[in-house]
A and B are shown apart, each in its own frame.
Chain A
Amino acid sequence: MEAPKGVLSHLCTLEVRARSRNAQPAQRSRVKELRARVEALTAQRDLLRADLRTYKDIEKRRRRLDDACAGGEEEEGMDSEDAEKSQLLQLMARQTQLTALLHAHQVIGGYDVVSTRQGKGVCVTLATAFEGTYLDSFKLEMDLRPTLRISRHNVPPFISLSQHGDSQADARGFLDALSTRLNAFAGRKQQLKLVKELHKSVRVMESNLLCSILVLMLTQTTAKTAVLCTMDYLDQQRCLPTSVRFHSQDEELPDCPEWKNNCSLLMETPLHRALTTMKDMGHIV
């Protein structure tokens, strides 16, 4: 009975092949899919590894550059098999150093000077801050030659731009003086803002754009008498008052030691903090 067995076995083999061909595409394509995934992940991993090596290399070079700049000894160049690659990495390190230093100049309140009109003029930014909070910045465009002359700016009109003394004065001298005035103004303005935010029990009766005069209504704790506090900020370069006066229905109040103390406090401490101290000491509500 060979013929039927041969046919049967052949049919069986064909059936196996047919079935497995049907079953395998699903499995084979899964295998293909997985193999492709492995390849992609391997490539990604290798790239990440290489990049990390590069970053570490650049940072090592950068630290050496920083040390050299600070006066450290120049060590021998880093060993590298590829001179061209080494040169490129060294340049990359230098670029990161320069970018960081330029950023630092900006952060510390530098003038961020930009040359204009082929070096005949400059555009500068005057940054202001008060006790750790950065405030508004102002821009100024100046001609340097033949003499110092301001062409454009966005400094408020009540801040004086005049150059004292020598009109040939160097740009930096002029900018330093202006920066002091702008920072003092920004400081006075910020103190007023903080008073309005932190001391709701204090009423601001009068103030002006330049923040050179300020009148506050304080309330004394015990008798609840109103005390009018007038502060003059006559020195444009300072953010503390040049004089402090109290007026009250209780005529003796301004002369008593407590309030004489408060007077000194207001002359020496930024306003919002002085008022907090006065509250803590129980002088005002």
Chain B
Amino acid sequence: MRVYTGQDFFIKMENVNAKNVEEVKLLEDQIKHLQAEVANLQEQQKNHRDHTLYFSEQMQQALSHVRGQTPPGSAEEVLSCLKKEVEQLEEDLQRQSQMNGINLNSCTTHSLERSSTKLVQQMCISGHCSGLEFQIEFQISEVKEGDQSEKTIKSLNVVMDASDLANFSSFLSGVKENSDLLLFFRTLRTFSDRIDERRRTFQHFQAKYPTLVSLPEGHGSEVMTLHHPELPGCMLLVDWPVEVSKEGGVTPKVHLLTKIPDRAQQLFPSEALGGAGEAFHSLLRLLGPEAALECIIREVGLLQDS
């Protein structure tokens, strides 16, 4: 026969308390562990912020769908909304590429510093401008001071195909020194326009007079040679360099050079040959490059005026 004493009462109370205390401790440990996991994951998410911070409405909806947060059966709607956005963006990109005369292949951005007043990003862009390929890398900072904001570029680096670089190198070194990103692209575009004009003109004449005209350096040739097939060794060279100044000024020049073997010069001394280069310049001024070249080619080919 037991008598319940105060001690028994306390023991029972303690048992209940102990169970609760144990559970509480277990839960508190679990919470600490989860909080650490969450903090870790949030830290990892920061690495992806550059790509996810400015998600459009359609992208937000798509993300919700992937998470399983959108109503079931809405997959088709979400897909078609996003498809529409992608189509509009593709159209827009076409329009920009055409108007800017530049085709971009890729652009990657990494944030180096991000605060409420300052954003510093590293950008890496690659593309081509009418066959001239480039890869550029730079740091872009945007600093907000009151309602004014200043955007600056620094540490600009440009990589281009060596064969395109010939006339470009002093300009490029100036651009890198001064981080002149916009000047680089304006000049690249103008340069490629002048190169295209040269290529079109040369190819036009090669197609029209295949026996007389040849392009020793291929499509992008700076030089067009003219010679009559029955006069070996005698050649007229049309040199059409496109020079780029350090300031970004693009200057195409057209010169005519003669290459006549000494023997021929001895046998047929002619003043005409000596002054050919200057005479050509006068012709250029009067007729423009295409018509002037046409004239010269016809003379070389001893062609009758049709």
Is there contact, CB below 8 Å, between B126 and A55? no
Verify if A198 is at the interface (C-beta below 8 Å from B): no
CB of A147 within 8 A of chain B? no
5 additional A-B residue pairs with CB within 8 Å, beyond A52-B45, A104-B104:
A41-B34, A52-B44, A95-B82, A96-B51, A127-B182
Q: Is B85 an interface residue (CB 8 A)?
A: yes
* Chain B residue at smallest Cβ distance from A54: B66
Q: Name which residue of chain A comes closest to B68, CB basis.
A: A50
Tell me how far the C-beta of B89 lies from the nearest C-beta in chain A, rounded to whole angstroms. 4
By secondary structure, the A interface counts as helix
Query: Which residues of the partner chain A approach B59 to less than 8 Å between Cβ atoms?
Result: 92, 95-96
List residues of chain A with CB within 8 A of the CB of B186.
109, 176, 179-180, 183
Query: Which A10-51 residues have C-beta < 8 A from chain B?
Result: 12-13, 15-16, 19-20, 23-24, 27-28, 30-31, 34-35, 37-38, 41-42, 44-45, 47-51
Contact of A132 among B23, B154, B247 (CB under 8 A): B154
**Is A102's CB under 8 angstroms from B152's CB?**
no
Q: Report how far A128 CA is from B182 CA in the complex, Å.
A: 8
A34 surroundings in chain B (CB, below 8 A): 24, 27-28, 31
3 smallest A-B Cβ distances: which pairs? A132-B179, A109-B182, A104-B107
What are some 9 contacts across the A-B interface (CB < 8 A)?
A: A5-B1, A38-B34, A52-B48, A71-B105, A84-B75, A88-B66, A102-B89, A108-B181, A110-B99
Chain B interface residue count, CB cutoff 8 Å, equals 83
Task: Say which residue of A20, A45, A51 sits within 8 Å of B37 (CB atoms).
Answer: A45
Q: Is B42 an interface residue (CB 8 A)?
A: yes
Task: Confirm or deny: B212 has a beta carbon within 8 angstroms of a beta carbon on chain A.
Answer: no
A256 CB-CB contact with B under 8 Å: no
Closest Cβ–Cβ distance, residue B36 to chain A (whole Å): 10
Q: Are A8 and B38 in contact (CB under 8 A)?
A: no
Residues of B within 8 A of A78 (CB): none
CB of A88 within 8 A of CB of B109, answer no
**What are the interface flags for A207-241 relative to B under an 8 Å C-beta threshold, 1 for contact and 0 otherwise?**
00000000000000000000000000000011110
Cβ contact within 8 Å between B41 and A100:
no
Which residue in A12, A112, A132, A172 is a CB contact (below 8 Å) of B101?
Answer: A172
CB-CB nearest in chain B for A12: B4
Which among A9, A50, A91, A97 is the interface contact of B2 at CB below 8 angstroms? Answer: A9
Interface residue A138 (Cβ < 8 Å from any Cβ of B): no
The docked-state distance in angstroms from the alpha carbon of A108 to that of B35 is 43
Which residues in B have their C-beta under 8 angstroms from that of A179?
Answer: 186
Cβ of A5: which chain B residues have Cβ within 8 Å of it?
1-3
Residue of A nearest to B189 (CB): A176
Which of A12, A62, A239 has the most chain B CB within a 10 Å cutoff?
A12
Q: Which residues of A contact B180 (CB under 8 A)?
A: 129-132
Q: CB of B254 within 8 A of chain A?
A: no
Distance between Cα atoms of A5 and B52 in the complex (Å):
73
Q: Which of A44, A45, A105 has the most CB of B within 10 A?
A: A105
B173 contacts the other chain (Cβ, under 8 Å)? no
Closest chain B residue to A131, Cβ basis: B178
The answer to whether B45 touches A48 (Cβ under 8 A) is yes
Distance of A111 Cα from B96 Cα, bound (Å)? 7
Whether B78 is near chain A, meaning CB under 8 Å from some CB there, is yes
Give CA–CA (A285, B75) in the complex, Å: 73
- A201 touches B (CB below 8 Å): no
**What CA separation (Å) do A158 and B266 show in the bound complex?**
61
Q: In the complex, how many angstroms separate the beta carbon of B298 from the nearest chain A beta carbon?
A: 27
B37 to chain A, nearest CB (A): 5
Q: Closest Cβ of chain B: how far from A62's Cβ, in Å? A: 8
Q: Which residue of B lies closest to A177 (CB)?
A: B190
| B145 vs chain A, min Cβ distance (A) | 14
One digit per residue, 1 when the CB lies within 8 angstroms of any chain A CB and 0 when it does not, for chain B 269-284 equals 0000000000000000
Q: Please, which residues of chain A bring their CB within 8 A of the CB of B54? A: 99
Are A20 and B13 in contact (CB-based, < 8 A)? yes
How far apart are the CA atoms of A55 and B9 in the complex, in Å?
58
Asked if B265 is an interface residue, CB under 8 A from chain A, the answer is: no
Q: How far is the CB of B190 from chain A (nearest CB, A)?
A: 7
Name B106's contact: one of A45, A70, A99 (CB within 8 Å).
A70
B126 contacts A108, CB within 8 Å? Answer: no
Evaluate whether A24 and B16 lie within 8 angstroms (CB atoms) in the complex, with A44-B38, A70-B126 already known: yes
What CA separation (Å) do A217 and B34 show in the bound complex? Answer: 70
Within 8 Å CB of B90, what residues of A? 98
Is B65 in contact with chain A by the CB < 8 A criterion?
yes
How far does the alpha carbon of A87 sit from the alpha carbon of B1 in the complex, in Å?
A: 77
